[in-house]
Amino acid sequence: MDNNTNNENKPVQHNKRRTYILIVVAVVLILLLVPTIIVACNYYNNHKDDKANSSSSMLSSEISDDISAVTSTDMQPAELSSDPLAAVEGSSQDGALSEVQSSQKTSSQQNSGYEITAEITANVTNPIGEYVSAEESQQLQLVNLFNVLPADFDPEITTLNGGKEFASIAADALDEMIDACNAECGDGKLWAQSTYRSYTKQVKLYNDEVNKWKNKGMSDSEAKAKAATVVAVPGTSEHNTGLACDFNTITESFADTKMYDWLIEHCAEYGFIERFPRDKQDITGITWEPWHYRYVGVEVAQTIMQNGWCLEEYHYYNNL
Ligand SMILES: [Zn+2]
């Protein structure tokens, strides 16, 4: 019986042992799998973050490329750190805008005044005779050898207190400036020597000068070249606009008077600028003319005088 019983129990013990082994194997597998799954999850999450980071850094690098592209071309005028643009920049507290603005400043600080000056000089070497100012307002009209008024330019003219003619939009301002200067300066009297000259009159002056040199034996082209050094070619003189005034003796000695000092300090309050400053000859192409003032309006005059610009620079920095 005992033998029988033992024989009958053997399969049961086998089954128990197999079950036990299976449980142990399962536990071992679970113990091995769980850490593997955890590690795999961590790896996946880390990888996902990396991908997100890399795509966002790509995006920001594209944005900064765009900013620098804009900055290096369109935004060059932002170099004017002491100019009206600074007020616009400072008025925004928006974070994104601040980032753009600081990027512009950094880039613009790398621009030198020399480069801008060189560019303006390059601009004014364009062929003579191209009229490029048709769309500008009258008081901002840029007139020089390379920005020539059309023959039919005919501004509205008013007679000044002193009897001379001036553009109607600026005649009162000139009268007031002359009166104020004379009231505050004790060393003489400021007066308008040369003001509006019509295009027709400019043509006559120029032709008379050409004929004078031709009568002396010069060829037509020689006489025109010589005449141009004495009388402005018609359409190239600011006096044709009615917005320019030469004061007193039209000599450099005018710069030694209190009236000159007063004008430098106060002319912008009346909308006038010293049109051909001593240090801007390479841009204007005109030697220092301390006697020649030009009306551009109060706001523009103050910007130009405060920044020490000439009118060409104002046009350049404002994309006019
Ligand atoms: Zn003049």
Residue 282 is part of a domain; what is its CATH number?
3.30.1380.10
What is the whole-number distance in angstroms between the Cα of residue 244 and the centre of ligand 1?
6
Whether the Cβ atoms of residue 244 and residue 293 lie closer than 8 Å to each other: yes
Of 15-29, 59-73, 292-306, the one with minimum mean pLDDT is 59-73
Q: What torsion do the CA atoms of 129, 133, 134, 139 make, to the nearest 10 degrees?
A: -130
What span, in angstroms and rounded, lies between the C-alpha atoms of 301 and 270?
Answer: 8
Whether 179 is in a domain gets the answer yes
Transcribe 171-196 into DSSP letters. HHHHHHHHHHHHHH--S----EEE--
- Mean per-residue pLDDT, 272-290: 93
Whether 276 is in a domain gets the answer yes
- Mean per-residue pLDDT, 133-148: 74
Whether 114 is in a domain gets the answer no
The reported pLDDT for the residue numbered 15 is 73
Q: Are 170 and 89 members of one domain? A: no
The reported pLDDT for the residue numbered 82 is 32
- Mean per-residue pLDDT, 22-44: 66
Whether 209 is in a domain gets the answer no
What span, in angstroms and rounded, lies between the C-alpha atoms of 102 and 67?
Answer: 11
Q: Are 32 and 181 members of one domain? A: no
What is the whole-number distance in angstroms between the Cα of residue 247 and the centre of ligand 1?
8
What is the whole-number distance in angstroms between the Cα of residue 68 and the centre of ligand 1?
42
Q: Are 191 and 267 members of one domain? A: yes
Q: Are 138 and 41 members of one domain? A: no
2: number of Cβ within 10 Å: 6
What is the whole-number distance in angstroms between the Cα of residue 146 and the centre of ligand 1?
17
Whether 275 is in a domain gets the answer yes
Higher pLDDT, 234 or 117: 234
What is the whole-number distance in angstroms between the Cα of residue 246 and the centre of ligand 1?
5
Count how many domains the chain has.
2
- Mean per-residue pLDDT, 94-119: 31
Beta-carbon contacts of residue 173 (< 8 Å; ≥ 6 apart): 270, 271, 272, 295
How many residues can be counted in the chain?
Answer: 320
What is the whole-number distance in angstroms between the Cα of residue 110 and the centre of ligand 1?
37
What pTM was computed for the model? 0.57
Q: Are 142 and 279 members of one domain? A: yes
Whether 205 is in a domain gets the answer no
The reported pLDDT for the residue numbered 21 is 76
Higher pLDDT, 96 or 220: 220
- Mean per-residue pLDDT, 139-165: 90
Of 61, 81, 109, the residue at which a domain comes to its end is 109
Of 75, 109, 143, the residue at which a domain comes to its end is 109
Higher pLDDT, 46 or 303: 303
Checking DSSP bridges between strand 292-295 and strand 244-247, what pairing results, if any? antiparallel
What span, in angstroms and rounded, lies between the C-alpha atoms of 109 and 234?
Answer: 41
Q: Are 29 and 167 members of one domain? A: no
Residue 246: give the domain boundaries.
Answer: 127-197+237-317
Q: Are 70 and 135 members of one domain? A: no
The whole-chain average pLDDT of the chain stands at 72
- Mean per-residue pLDDT, 198-211: 92
Higher pLDDT, 129 or 225: 225
Q: Are 159 and 267 members of one domain? A: yes
Would you please indicate which residues are annotated as catalytic (active-site) residues? 289
pLDDT at 320 over 70: yes
Q: Are 7 and 103 members of one domain? A: yes
pLDDT at 115 over 80: no
Of 244, 225, 224, 232, residue with least CA distance to 285? 232
What is the whole-number distance in angstroms between the Cα of residue 99 and the centre of ligand 1?
46
Whether the Cβ atoms of residue 133 and residue 143 lie closer than 8 Å to each other: yes
**At 44, is the pLDDT very low, low, confident or very high (cuts 50, 70, 90)?**
low
Q: Are 9 and 86 members of one domain? A: yes
What is the whole-number distance in angstroms between the Cα of residue 29 and the centre of ligand 1?
100
Whether 89 is in a domain gets the answer yes
Whether 261 is in a domain gets the answer yes
What is the whole-number distance in angstroms between the Cα of residue 162 and the centre of ligand 1?
17
Q: Are 54 and 170 members of one domain? A: no
Q: Are 162 and 308 members of one domain? A: yes
Of 42, 74, 109, the residue at which a domain comes to its end is 109
